[in-house]
Amino acid sequence: MKYLITLSAFCLLAIGTLFPPPSLAGGDPSIVWDGSELPQGVSFYWYEPSFYTGFAPRTQDPTRPHIRLSRGNQLRITLVLGEQELDNYAEDLLLRFNTYQALIDKQVIKLSVNMAYERFVAAMEDNGVSELAAARTSMSPEEYRQKTVTLMNSLNPGAIFPIHMDFAQLLTSWHKQLLTIDDKGLSNKVTLLDAANALLPGRINLSVLSDEQKNQLTTLITTVQSGTAADSPEFSEKAEQFLAAVSHGHYPVINGFVETVEFTRIVPVGTLQATVKYKQWKLSSFGVTGIWHLIPRKIGRGQLGMVDYLSPNPGYGYIPLLQYQHATGKYYNAYHNAGVRTNLGEARFVPEEWKHIPGERNPKKNYQNLWIASRGPASHGCTRLPSGYMTEMRHILPSSSDLLEKVATHRNRPQCYDLFDIDGNGTPEVMGVQYYLAFAGKGHVPTNAYAQNNRKDFYTWLYADNISYNDDDTAVIKETLTCRFVGKKAKEAQSYQKQPLHEAIYQPEAIQFYRLLAADFKSDKGFTFNHELRRIAVGNDTDSTKLFLQ
């Protein structure tokens, strides 16, 4: 599909052969959401800066995150944790806590709006973070890392996955695939890419083979076709060497098992406010697809030159944007926060119960606005995340802008699902998340809901007739098309039938609003403070002067 590019608001609006049905064109004005439960998202009064109060791990290695946008309008962020990430985890938490507390004690900032910081401190104390960090020298590295994984799991329920995969079983399956490659396949780059990635499906994500990798793979194929068995030491040794080469060593084989720990967050996202036709379905358009690296913002308003750009436009909530495409002039496409506020008194789909939620710090004053990402067509061209999860995404990635430029993001074609064995148990699932909010907007103002905010009504809108349910109410995607990446392009790959839908728990968003007392938070010093506060980590040299602590 070719898109005619035009400019609108902050991001690009991509237009082309679009097929908006009535339910997508402007939502349904008759829908009012169910308000029997508190809303997902972040409640607030008006725009103020915030900092991260969650417990996701962080990496300074840009090869460890895998970021993938897929059908169903969700973004999977998988972080493969190595020794450095595990060893630094508790100290990272303490460094953030000590910095936050120093800023409060020295009256650089004053907490406002909500009480996420108090929950952060309580969880740190309840889970013995400082005790674990203090005991590190009395433990072996292996024991300390295991206790760190236990701590991570407690602080990040449903997001930590220890991977323990039988390497012999992986080799048996891979051996069968290598046997099917003929002489023609040996010269076909797509065949070779598929073969390389099949050694550890979903975790090796090569889009191009280096000459050395191609030679290693070709040697393995000819070894198999010469009669070498799947369980032979020769094949196993060469396969293990190949795995190390194509995965940056992130998936070591230990005592016959692929062993690692992964953090995976499934995040609902809003994409281009347009649809594309695929078979009988009208799907959310993603604007651009393929592999896109994060890029610095060099043109525009505010402070420039870094990937983790802060827009002076209050609609972006003073939360970093991560650009992946420069369009023209000052316009970029980026991963950013919800992008719009839902006015609780004006949005017609907001239930009455949500209009009377008392503030945490000031219970006498009800919240007036809500940050919720619309999980569907929503944007002028960017990719919108819930504000708390955009904050978390920035936190997970490397501190420095230079390292952020090395982070790749994978954007499937709109018809391609993310089929991934999230826990390494041998059963791949279609990635999804328990988030049932989607609304249309005009400009930056929410107008009408696309669907009712309950699981089955929302899934009927999101997946149409491509979903069914088992007797135990678990969901199944009937036809699961996947994508491969060749060079920088996303292309259709294989289709599977009746794949289970993994419905990740939507964890409460973890950000704390604050008021900057040391300077105007919208000044250069205020923006510099905001940037520096988000980069705090072991291995990153924090500038105390920028934080007004010196």
Q: What distance lies between CA 544 and its chain's CA centroid?
A: 30
> In angstroms, how far apart are the furthest CA atoms of the chain?
78
Q: What is the DSSP string of 206-263?
A: -SS--HHHHHHHHHHHHHHHTT--TT-HHHHHHHHHHHHHHTTT-S-EETTEEEEEEE
Overall average pLDDT of the 136-155 stretch: 98
What pLDDT score does 36 carry? 96
Q: Which has the higher per-residue pLDDT, 25 or 48?
A: 48
Residue 196 scores a pLDDT above 90: yes
What is the percent of the chain where pLDDT is above 90?
Answer: 93
Predicted model pTM: 0.95
Looking at the chain, how many residues does it have? Answer: 550
The contacts of residue 359 (CB under 8 Å, 6+ apart) are 43, 45, 113, 114, 365, 366, 367
One-letter identity of residue 440: A
pLDDT in tens, 414-440: 999 999 999 999 999 999 999 999 999
- Domain definitions of the chain by residue range: 3-107+263-534, 164-249
pLDDT in tens, 314-366: 999 999 999 999 988 899 999 999 999 999 999 999 999 999 999 999 999 99
The DSSP 8-state label assigned to residue 535 in this structure reads: T
Q: The tokens of 479 are what?
A: 């036809």
Residue 120 scores a pLDDT above 60: yes
Distance CA 2, CA 288 (A): 10
What pLDDT score does 143 carry? 98
Residue 17 scores a pLDDT above 90: no
Residue 19 scores a pLDDT above 60: no
Residue 167 scores a pLDDT above 70: yes
What is the rounded end-to-end Cα distance, in angstroms, of the chain?
55
